[in-house]
Structure 1
């Protein structure tokens, strides 16, 4: 039976080999792959620990007799380093029960062929992995578990087909026949979609794709009325807002705006403190999924003569969300209090930019928001909308 010391030695050597140019056939000279025994087993040279010294020596002796490695001990039977015998690679992989990287790569490439044309995100992901495999780089979102990788690809494919709000557990049962599978891979799925898709904020992706943990609502308040199944609700006469379940949004027949504008507000606290008798205010539940966007489109179609504003954080995420909302609805939203004047008026509440903030803002310097973007970069500041006085 193979010992844990044999496995450790062989795995270290194979790791070196699989990361080398020789592995992809690009090296013009023969490479030797060796590791120092003391780096693999730091306690090997500890004279007070004879058991480990003896166990490691036995492992090395066994591997040398099998011609898997080349090693030479000194007069005290101490090994300095061991060298992989690349001529015996096939036997070595079998001996320790390790699947060769070439076989793993081949299986991944076959999987990519199945999913690369499912949607644009998967196409970008697969094309990138082709390049990484051929450059002997690690495969993103893959930890040598082929089943998990396929589940990730399946989830990305199925998520983009969800057209009604769905609980994450129900999605998992429908797609994987198991309520826990999606929960286990959700982090990797979201990271993949964020990297290869076009979404403003990573933590809003599932909501944007109609996957929720709990029932959600859209809040309305201000000058206007909503008609649901022939029942007209006069928002103007209400002392506060009204929340409508996402399940009922498709039942809305008409939203009439009697004020001068509509404003969507990103943050719930800001929505509750907002007060303008000329604006119908809408809180979209933290993200703009298909159902919510359809409501925006309906309001715009039925009230095309009025202006539409969006109020969000004055940071990279806020502007990305605004652009995403405009792109997905076709409505030309005007930023509300997302300007230099607001930053200067609330200067004591601003925060410093992170490196990620700067990176994302830099991508917007040529946008229509270039003045406020440049100001933020030059003054190293951003502002959460809760700090803005909107009463």
Structure 2
């Protein structure tokens, strides 16, 4: 009886301590603050923690959230050492909880994405990111000018330089094209890129630092046209819509009904769950650009991967 009473007291003290820590924590990102408030409400109402805020790792989770709140690049094992003094502690104990939090508060319907992609969304990566593009570009780091020319296999830039670069200039360009898929990017710059085009490998999910790179490119341009090319599927539509928040003038490239029907021999069938999620997008104004092609996809119960356009 005495043990049970002591145990209840400890639980109450733990909850009070966690509430105090949560209420004192300060974050800038909206989704983290939403998570914080939900956990405060849950603790007050239920007097216990849940699987998004397990008691044994509660303070550790807040520590990691504080690190990613600044939207800077965090190498996974360096982050783990910085927060916990152990390069593998994050992977063993915190990563799976953080992924659940991200999927609940930041990424809806993230079934198409790997855990690495989900972590990349908040700036956590295994290695420094390498950004790929093809075209004429120059920028300065301190007083040193760094210049790129159009190369057959494209050019490369590491994430550290993005933070430091100033006076970015995109030269001799009419059109800027983002491409999601690596194979399509390589095929395009080798066989299809015109002299007045600047082409960027987008990839799927992108980190905050890669988003900064995209924004700097956009801000360096004045009268250029911006396009994005992705799979004709839910993931591709989401990628386009997210990029459009950085580039309001963004237009779709080979993502319309004409492109969809031109490769009908490579269509992939959709299951019922996928159809329902696609129908949900059809009801959202953010996806207005794709209403017509979504209707065609639903009518033909098919989606199309970008690689089909290489064939």
Q: How would you bin the TM-score normalised by the shorter chain?
A: 0.7 to 0.9
Q: Does 1:234 align with 2:145?
A: no
Determine the structure 2 residue equivalent to 1:192.
101
Determine the structure 2 residue equivalent to 1:14.
none
Query: How does 1:92-171 map onto structure 2 within 5 Å?
Result: 93=4, 99=7, 104=11, 107-108=14-15, 110-115=17-22, 118-119=26-27, 120-129=30-39, 130-131=41-42, 134=45, 139-141=50-52, 146-163=55-72, 165-171=73-79
Determine helix, strand or coil for the equivalent of 2:70.
coil
Aligned mates of 2:48, 2:272 — CA distance in 1: 26
Classify 1:384/1:227 alpha carbon distance in 2 versus 1 (closer, same or farther; 3 Å): same
Determine the structure 2 residue equivalent to 1:58.
none
1:91-134 C-alpha deviation (Å, 9 max, x unpaired):
6847xx9x55x964773465245325634334433444535984
Aligned mates of 1:311, 1:106 — CA distance in 2: 54
Determine the structure 1 residue equivalent to 2:183.
269
1:199 offset after TM fit, Å? 6.7
Determine helix, strand or coil for the equivalent of 1:240.
coil
Check conservation: 1:358, 1:377, Cα contact below 8 A: yes
1:18-61 C-alpha deviation (Å, 9 max, x unpaired):
xxxxxxxxxxxxxxxxxxxxxxxxxxxxxxxxxxxxxxxxxxxx
1:320 pairs, out of 214, 238, 244, with 238
Determine the structure 2 residue equivalent to 1:375.
296
Classify 1:323/1:115 alpha carbon distance in 2 versus 1 (closer, same or farther; 3 Å): farther
1:64-95 C-alpha deviation (Å, 9 max, x unpaired):
xxxxxxxxxxxxxxxxxxxxxxxxxx56847x
1:225 pairs, out of 137, 146, 149, with 137
Aligned mates of 1:372, 1:140 — CA distance in 2: 39
1:215-264 C-alpha deviation (Å, 9 max, x unpaired):
32111114x333453243322xx333111222223336433242321011
Query: How does 1:69-88 map onto structure 2 within 5 Å?
Result: none
1:282 offset after TM fit, Å? 0.5
Classify 1:373/1:133 alpha carbon distance in 2 versus 1 (closer, same or farther; 3 Å): farther
Determine the structure 1 residue equivalent to 2:281.
364
Determine helix, strand or coil for the equivalent of 1:218.
strand
> Any gaps of 5 or more consecutive residues in structure 1?
1-89
2:91 pairs, out of 183, 193, 211, with 183
Classify 1:292/1:162 alpha carbon distance in 2 versus 1 (closer, same or farther; 3 Å): closer
Q: How many residues align?
A: 290
Give the TM-score normalised by structure 1. 0.64
1:247 pairs, out of 145, 160, 165, with 160
Aligned mates of 2:292, 2:122 — CA distance in 1: 32
Determine the structure 2 residue equivalent to 1:384.
305
Give the TM-score normalised by structure 2. 0.79
Aligned mates of 2:254, 2:170 — CA distance in 1: 25
Aligned mates of 2:227, 2:123 — CA distance in 1: 24
1:350 offset after TM fit, Å? 2.1
**Rg larger in 1 or in 2?**
1
Q: Give the helix-richer structure, 1 or 2.
A: 2
Classify 1:109/1:137 alpha carbon distance in 2 versus 1 (closer, same or farther; 3 Å): closer
Classify 1:285/1:374 alpha carbon distance in 2 versus 1 (closer, same or farther; 3 Å): closer
More moved, 195-204 vs 130-139: 130-139
Check conservation: 1:265, 1:281, Cα contact below 8 A: yes
Determine the structure 1 residue equivalent to 2:125.
212
RMSD: 3.1
